[in-house]
Amino acid sequence: MAKLFLPLTLASLLLLASSSPLASTFDYGEALSKSLLFFEAQRSGKLPANQHVKWRGDSGLSDGFMQGVDLVGGYYDAGDHVKFGFPMAYAVTMLSWSLIKFEEEIAAANQLGNTLDAIRWGTDYFLKAHRQPNVLWAQVGDGDTDHYCWERAEDMTTPRTAFKVDTEHPGSDVAGETAAALAAASIGFRPFNSSYSNLLLLHAKQLFAFADMFRGKYDDSITVVREYYPSVTGYHDELLWAAAWLFEATDDQEYLKYVVENSASLGGTGWAVLMQNRDGPYNATLKQYQAKAEFFLCANLQKNNGYNVAMTPGGLLYIDDWNNMQYVSASAFLMVAYADYLALTNSKLNCPDGQVPPQDILKFAESQAEYILGKNPKSMSYLVGYQGNYPTNVHHRGASIESKSILPASVGCTEGFEHWYDSKQGNPNVIFGALVGGPDQLDRFVDIRSNYEQTEPTIAGNAPLVGLFAKLNILSKGQGNVQTEGKPKPYSEAGVLSKATEDLA
Ligand SMILES: *[C@@H]1O[C@H](CO)[C@@H](O)[C@H](O)[C@H]1NC(C)=O
Ligand SMILES: *[C@@H]1O[C@H](CO)[C@@H](O)[C@H](O)[C@H]1NC(C)=O
């Protein structure tokens, strides 16, 4: 079952901008490599030879074929096997943003190749899903039939119906979100593969034009998504989000003009975006975007004159019982990104309750990361497989059923419920690096498989961890001054066997 998705933070913040060491007992390098491994566990399609997560096999090999399209690949959303285009695009955007912002930090942790691979697994799929300018395949499988069964992806018997948006059935939100993902990934790939980067950008531009010209909410066109990832805030925010990323990717003033001129009509200044300083004629509007971003940050930092985000007694930001951790990871990422921007411009965050220097923002972000990794009332790591005490009954079909390599016979739809879902044993496969939904508002957490609000991981929740952990890793090693504008390291497929494999061996 997939949780409701980021109505607050999804596409609601864009910081297009560019310390002192923190003493830490946590190994953020290990946390980083593991959080990337989770994306391997979520891979659909034909797995590559360098797949590290060995309990997974090929799956979804005829996705899209019923409709005459090849939609093999991409990511399963969570503990289920639907490929939801909207959160997948958000996850790829956040992975790409992590890479753009913290490339040196990721490289220093030897995770550059794994990060690029995680992004490309998503973008290769988006390219398949977008073969004509005004058609985007936005979903494969559906929540209702998928959730009826508890089986491994490799055994899937559920319908793999594909759903699209087009000129007559528009979906500006999903098309805009995918355009943003491709534009961001195009920036991320530029130093490593310029032809691939250009290809991603071409698709991003086409998708944005499609989203803008044929306007509509995608859940009016793909109604089966409504119970899972509805278009909560409409499509206006995604249009602005896509245009902002396209401006960042192209430097084309037309996109910036779009963001500014539509800021009121599309509600942009009603939520938080911040643009970099390439903005002469548009300062006033961009200042409004910045004010919204700062309001959001101050509220998270508990410095907003009483209008703050709630926190648990144990010190975790608290938004919702259902997969609260996705909000925590996104907020903490935005804090480290903004702290970097402030440090670069030698400034502080002005909150209603006082000025906050970048180091204090980093400290707050780190408090959230520490909570995630075990500094909490349950002394539990909500990142699976990190240190000794972590959830063992993760709500995840593949992790909860013995691997095909050990149990080759198919496990049927309802058989999976009887033998595996209802089992009192812990999962046979440790799904390393999965960020589960996490505790409730009183830091309570019940590690049972049926408790999907707390024990299910999602790709959307995991993606911002990459930038967060990469930054904290550098800081914990006392190398807080790593510049993000440095020369990119050469990337080679062969050189990327990560620390993760050693850890797992
Ligand atoms: C760049 O991307 C293209 C298109 O996906 C791929 O065929 C090629 O092998 C990549 N080049 C490198 C150097 O990775
Ligand atoms: C916009 O802001 C930048 C940086 O703060 C400044 O250099 C520039 O003069 C401003 N432009 C206008 C038209 O106000």
Nearest CA to ligand 2 atom 1: 280
Range of the domain at 391: 28-476
Residue 5 forms part of a structural domain: no
Residue 489 forms part of a structural domain: no
Instruction: Identify whether 447 is a catalytic site residue.
Output: yes
Q: Which atom of ligand 2 is nearest to the CA of 281?
A: 13
CA–centroid distance, 487 to ligand 1, in Å, is 20
H/E run at residue 418:
none
Q: Are the beta carbons of 383 and 390 closer than 8 angstroms? A: yes
Residue 434 forms part of a structural domain: yes
Residue 13, strand partner residues: 272
Annotated catalytic residue within 58, 321, 447, 503: 447
Nearest CA to ligand 2 atom 4: 277
Residue 20 forms part of a structural domain: no
Nearest CA to ligand 1 atom 13: 193
Nearest ligand, measured from the Cα of 492: 1
Q: Which residues contact 161 (CB under 8 A, 6 or more apart)?
A: 66, 67, 140, 141, 142
Helix residue ranges per DSSP H, 131-193: 143-148, 172-189
Count CA atoms closer than 13 A to 480's CA, side-chain side.
17
Q: Phi first, then psi: what are they for 164, rounded to 5°?
A: -130, 165
Nearest CA to ligand 2 atom 8: 280
CA–centroid distance, 283 to ligand 2, in Å, is 6
User: 216 is written with which tokens?
Assistant: 């509509």
User: Residue-wise pLDDT tens for the chain (505 aa)?
Assistant: 444 333 333 333 333 332 344 556 899 999 999 999 999 999 999 999 999 999 999 999 999 999 999 999 999 999 999 999 999 999 999 999 999 999 999 999 999 999 999 999 999 999 999 999 999 999 999 999 999 999 999 999 999 999 999 999 999 999 999 999 999 999 999 999 999 999 999 999 999 999 999 999 999 999 999 999 999 889 999 999 999 999 999 999 999 999 988 988 887 665 444 555 555 667 788 888 888 999 999 999 999 999 999 999 999 999 999 999 999 999 999 999 999 999 999 999 999 999 999 999 999 999 999 999 999 999 999 999 999 999 999 999 999 999 999 999 999 999 999 999 999 999 999 999 999 999 999 999 999 999 999 999 999 999 999 999 999 999 998 865 444 333 333 333 222 222 222 223 2
Residue 354, strand partner residues: 351
CA distance 354 to 287: 19
Closest C-alpha among 11, 113, 1, 22 to residue 366: 22
Tell me the CA end-to-end span of the chain in Å, nearest whole number: 31
Angle at 356 between CA 353 and CA 358, to 5 degrees: 165
Task: Count the neighbouring beta carbons within 10 Å of the beta carbon of residue 34.
Answer: 28
Q: Which atom of ligand 1 is nearest to the CA of 493?
A: 14
**pTM: predicted TM-score of the whole model, two decimal places:** 0.90
Q: What total number of domains does the chain contain?
A: 1
Q: Is the CB of 195 under 6 A from ligand 1?
A: yes
Q: Is the CB of 124 under 6 A from ligand 1?
A: no
Q: Which atom of ligand 1 is nearest to the CA of 199?
A: 4
Compute the Cα dihedral for 28, 75, 324, 19 and give only its sign.
positive
Nearest ligand, measured from the Cα of 196: 1
Residue 297 forms part of a structural domain: yes
Q: Are the beta carbons of 494 and 126 closer than 8 angstroms? A: no
Nearest CA to ligand 1 atom 4: 196
- Residues with beta carbon inside 6 Å of ligand 2? 277, 280-281, 283
Residue 366 forms part of a structural domain: yes
CA–centroid distance, 279 to ligand 2, in Å, is 7
Q: Which atom of ligand 2 is nearest to the CA of 277?
A: 4
What CATH number did the domain enclosing 140 receive? 1.50.10.10
H/E run at residue 126:
helix 112-129
CA–centroid distance, 274 to ligand 2, in Å, is 15
Closest C-alpha among 163, 153, 151 to residue 61: 153
Residue 149 forms part of a structural domain: yes
Q: Are the beta carbons of 184 and 212 closer than 8 angstroms? A: no
Closest C-alpha among 118, 115, 242 to residue 174: 242
Amino acid at 335: M
Residue 250 forms part of a structural domain: yes
Q: Please give the pLDDT value at position 275.
A: 52
CA–centroid distance, 193 to ligand 1, in Å, is 6
Q: Please give the pLDDT value at position 273.
A: 46
Helix residue ranges per DSSP H, 280-431: 283-300, 325-344, 358-373, 397-400, 415-416
Q: Which atom of ligand 2 is nearest to the CA of 284?
A: 14
The two counts, helices (H) then strands (E), for the chain are 18, 7
